[in-house]
Structure 1
Amino acid sequence: MALGPFGGVKVQLTALPLKHASSPMPTLWLEIFSCSSRATIDGYGCFGLGEEELAAAVEIILSAMQRNPYPN
């Protein structure tokens, strides 16, 4: 699911299928994509979206926006 463009980055949230209940892979993945370089520049995996996970996601997005302020 695309969450939208923010400055020079696009943010997408993907729910990964859980193959096994004990899998160590996070079931949610937040990907930060640079519009100018057309490449993934950061990501964050988690198992749920509680307060701590949302705060970490916001920090990652804000940091990426500062590094990539506007699309070219």
Structure 2
Amino acid sequence: PTAQRELHRLATLASASTFGDPARPDLLAEDAAMCLGQVETSMDEGRTAWERLRWKLSLRSLRHKTASPV
């Protein structure tokens, strides 16, 4: 909830870089990296060290099918 604006901004930047032709892709990448840093910091705040390690090392997104609705 603390990084909702950054998450929406990151989605917009991803769409712009995927489907658009940005004039300054370097600035787009810098902005995306800053937004991602804010999102990761927000997600780290309410978790234990073990939960953060599991989250960062998770291979779930690489699986063909997952039971997760996310």
The answer to whether TM tops 0.5 is no
Larger fraction in strand: 1
Shorter-normalised TM range: 0.3 to 0.5
How does the TM-score come out when normalised to structure 1? 0.35
How does the TM-score come out when normalised to structure 2? 0.36
Larger fraction in helix: 2
